[in-house]
Amino acid sequence: MPGTKPKRKKAARPRDLRTLRGKTILVTGGAGFIGSNFIRYVLGRYEDIRVINLDKLTYAGNLDNLADIAGDPRYEFVRGDIRDAAVVAGILGRVQGVAHFAAETHVDRSILSGGEFVLTDVHGTYTLLEAVRNAPGIEFFLHVSTDEVYGSRDAGFFKETAALNPSSPYSASKVGADRLAHAFHVTYGTPALIVRPSNNYGPYQYPEKFIPLFTTNAMEDQALPLYGKGRNVRDWLHVEDNCRAIETVILRGETGQAYNVGANDERFNIDVAKRILKLLGKPVDLIKFVPDRLGHDRRYAVDCRKLKALGWKREVDFEAGLEETVRWYVENRNWWLKIKTKSAEYKAFIEKNYGVRS
């Protein structure tokens, strides 16, 4: 009718294909940064969920990350290696789903020595997939991959169909794991779901990674070692947005498919470093330009429309999320001070990685 606007149909919210209600799930690497945030997230959201956390407690695994939920009757911790087929098989008999986070994760460490990355990220994932293949009753195997599998690009965004072109021993190992999960779906019908998130930030991130390292160094009036000219670009995603994305893919993702997860909010490293200093009231001259990371990917950027079509959207704005994160490190000084001052392993890595740069 002239003068009246045609009514727009509201897009229907995609329906859940699976449920986490009443389920027991295995979370691997749950004592690490994202895994611990994910366990806290699902226990808070699903009253009747049960979680078994299988973690080897490498240098990056820290039970302090879960201190507030350790006594929750719905939570159980098993110290073990994802490469231990017997341990994995024993747990799989008691669960209906797997969220697989366990990995060696730091690019700089993989440049110094890549062997553990191949063993854990590739062979560990293979061991889990083999065990899932032989365990009836597993409804999903959610594999946490990374946006680094695509490699770097100066402009535009990678869709999930783009060729994988990893640059570091870390990202190459993650490609191996990502494609194994896919291959098990194609070959054996394993209900694999893959997420490829961008750089996460938030509470409980090990202080070797950029944001916690720079925040805690600045708090101690120590130099912030910025690689190259600080002109590399990362797309920062709050860990809670990533947890929501993983939940979305578990509930509504199509098995065999990969889903990019990003905030589409790109920043130069130097701008993030300056922002951290501003939030802490520290001088810009704490930034120290140091020799670049070998093979340093200039920019990561992923197209997230496929995930958004499942009903996910970013909720945490970077400025607010960074402020809240910096505050968390200020308020939880003992958490990171314990690592930075008491861990011989941490000190040895810092010396190895930064000693040669100074």
Interaction site with ligand DAU (CB under 6 A) = 105-107, 146-148, 198-199, 209-210, 213, 225-227, 232, 234, 269, 293, 300
Asked if 215 is part of the footprint of ligand NAD (rule: CB under 6 A), the reply reads no
Closest CA relative to residue 143, chosen from 90, 93, 82, 86: 82
Cβ distance to ligand NAD smaller for residue 181 or 286: 181
Cβ distance to ligand DAU smaller for residue 21 or 229: 229
Cβ distance to ligand DAU smaller for residue 95 or 301: 301
Q: Catalytic: which of 147, 208, 240, 247? A: 147
The overall longest dimension of the chain from CA atoms, in Å, is 76
Helix intervals (H) in the chain: 33-45, 85-92, 107-112, 115-117, 125-133, 169-188, 210-219, 239-252, 269-280, 305-308, 318-331, 333-342, 344-355
DSSP letters for 161-183: TSPP---SHHHHHHHHHHHHHHH
Among 46, 77, 101, 329, binds ligand NAD (CB under 6 A): 101
* C-beta separation of 141 from 181 below 8 A: yes
Closest CA relative to residue 197, chosen from 247, 156, 163, 155: 247
Q: Shortest distance, CB of residue 98 to ligand NAD, whole angstroms? A: 13
Q: Shortest distance, CB of residue 47 to ligand NAD, whole angstroms? A: 25
* Cβ partners under 8 Å of residue 110, min gap 6: 104, 117, 168, 169, 170, 173
Q: Which tokens in the block code for residue 135? A: 């365990």
Q: Shortest distance, CB of residue 221 to ligand NAD, whole angstroms? A: 26
Give the one entry of ligand NAD, ligand DAU, none that residue 65 binds, where binding means its C-beta sits below a cut-off of 5 to 8 angstroms depending on kind: none
Give the one entry of ligand NAD, ligand DAU, none that residue 18 binds, where binding means its C-beta sits below a cut-off of 5 to 8 angstroms depending on kind: none
Give the one entry of ligand DAU, ligand NAD, none that residue 178 binds, where binding means its C-beta sits below a cut-off of 5 to 8 angstroms depending on kind: none
Asked if 57 is part of the footprint of ligand NAD (rule: CB under 6 A), the reply reads yes
Task: Report how far residue 253's alpha carbon sits from residue 192's, in angstroms, rounded to the nearest whole number.
Answer: 10
Cβ distance to ligand NAD smaller for residue 18 or 238: 238
* Cα torsion through 133, 57, 52, 49, rounded to 10: -120
Q: Which tokens in the block code for residue 345? A: 């392993």
Buried b (16+ CB within 10 A) or exposed e, 212-251: bbbbbbbbeeebbbbbeebebbbbbbbbbbbbbbbbbbbb
Give the one entry of ligand NAD, ligand DAU, none that residue 300 binds, where binding means its C-beta sits below a cut-off of 5 to 8 angstroms depending on kind: ligand DAU
Asked if 262 is part of the footprint of ligand NAD (rule: CB under 6 A), the reply reads no
Q: Catalytic: which of 55, 148, 240, 297? A: 148
Closest CA relative to residue 147, chosen from 163, 111, 171: 171
Q: In the Cβ-directed half-sphere of 18, how many Cα atoms lie within 13 Å?
A: 23
Q: Catalytic: which of 126, 150, 170, 227? A: 170
Task: Report how far residue 182's alpha carbon sits from residue 7's, in angstroms, rounded to the nearest whole number.
Answer: 42
Q: SS3 of 140, please?
A: strand
Give the one entry of ligand NAD, ligand DAU, none that residue 102 binds, where binding means its C-beta sits below a cut-off of 5 to 8 angstroms depending on kind: ligand NAD
Cβ distance to ligand DAU smaller for residue 96 or 260: 260
Asked if 120 is part of the footprint of ligand NAD (rule: CB under 6 A), the reply reads yes
Closest CA relative to residue 337, chosen from 219, 241, 191: 219
| Per-residue contact flags (x/-) with ligand NAD for residues 132 to 171, judged by CB under 6 A | ------------x-x-------------------------
Cα 80 to Cα 68, 83, 327, 350: the distances in Å are 21, 9, 33, 26
Give the one entry of ligand NAD, ligand DAU, none that residue 185 binds, where binding means its C-beta sits below a cut-off of 5 to 8 angstroms depending on kind: none
Is 170 a known active-site residue? yes
Cβ distance to ligand DAU smaller for residue 53 or 105: 105
Q: Shortest distance, CB of residue 217 to ligand DAU, whole angstroms? A: 9
Q: Shortest distance, CB of residue 278 to ligand NAD, whole angstroms? A: 23
For the annotated catalytic residues, the residue numbers are: 147-148, 170
- Using CB under 6 A, list all residues that contact ligand NAD: 28-29, 31-35, 54-58, 60-61, 81-83, 101-103, 105, 120, 124, 144, 146, 174, 197, 199-200, 206
